[in-house]
Amino acid sequence: MSELIEHLKQKHWLWNGNVQQQPSDAYSTGYALLDTKLEGGFPKHGVIELQTDSGIGELRLLLPHLLSNHQQRMSVFIQPPGYLCAQMLVEQGFDLNQILLIYPDNPRHALWAAEQCLKSGACANVLLWHQELEVHQARRLQVASEAGQCLQFLFKPSQHGVFSLPVSLSMRLEPHNHGLNITITKRKGGWSHGSFVLDMRSHWPQFAITADESVVIPFPLRKQG
């Protein structure tokens, strides 16, 4: 049994849960609650898997981090489901000279582009949208991320009951009226904290859903004579 465990560790398919990640080894996410749940924030390199549907606020979740961590190196978006709005990025404070969009011909080319960007040393963040990823492909991205000291965000559909990939962090995102419902399904060097609601109204008040005001008008009670 000990030989099997050691083999899994060498493959980076198993991590010790008692090795806690220190805040100095993390980037703030820009959300205090999420920083607390991740015990410091996002790791400084590695693959972060985001299991999510498109258009529920998944990209806005990352904007505070990207904005605070893009000045010296580039942020690369590979095969996003739509075209990013340059005006929105400028309004948020991004330098468009530090933003690169890549639309490869096929998923294989997308993975190749992500790996090259990760290990180039010129990028701080690589965001990749990919439907399915095999274990050996995730491992290659993990190694390239460590080599280039770059963070890889992997957007993919939520898949319950599927064997987890060898990534540094995995979170499942679901829509919520006040922001996102987040489930931390895997975290390297620590335990997950289950599900919680991340209130994003302070960052994006225009996208929060508020309850409709009641239109029911109560009738006065008849006095008993």
**Euclidean distance between CA atoms 185 and 196, whole angstroms:** 12
**pLDDT of amino acid 159:** 72
**pLDDT of amino acid 209:** 67
**pLDDT of amino acid 22:** 45
* Per-residue model confidence as pLDDT tens for the chain (225 residues): 566 656 555 554 554 544 444 445 899 999 999 999 999 999 999 999 999 999 898 999 999 999 988 668 999 999 998 888 889 889 888 999 999 999 999 999 999 999 999 999 999 999 999 988 889 999 999 999 999 999 999 999 887 656 678 899 999 999 999 999 999 998 886 666 679 999 988 877 766 666 555 555 555 666 665
**pLDDT of amino acid 214:** 55
**Euclidean distance between CA atoms 38 and 30, whole angstroms:** 12
**Euclidean distance between CA atoms 50 and 6, whole angstroms:** 28
**Euclidean distance between CA atoms 123 and 145, whole angstroms:** 10
Q: Where are the domains of the chain?
A: 43-173
Instruction: From residue 199, give the alpha-carbon distance in Å to each of 40, 63, 65, 159, 186.
Output: 18, 15, 16, 24, 21
By C-alpha distance, which of 29, 69, 39 is closest to 179? 29
Task: Provide the angle, in degrees to the nearest 10, between the axes of the packed helices 107-120 and 135-148.
Answer: 30
**Euclidean distance between CA atoms 220 and 208, whole angstroms:** 35
The owner of tokens 């008040």 is 205
Tell which CATH classification among 3.40.50.300, 1.10.1040.10, 3.10.450.50, 3.30.70.3000 matches the domain 43-173: 3.40.50.300
**pLDDT of amino acid 188:** 80
| DSSP-assigned beta bridge partners for residue 198 | 180
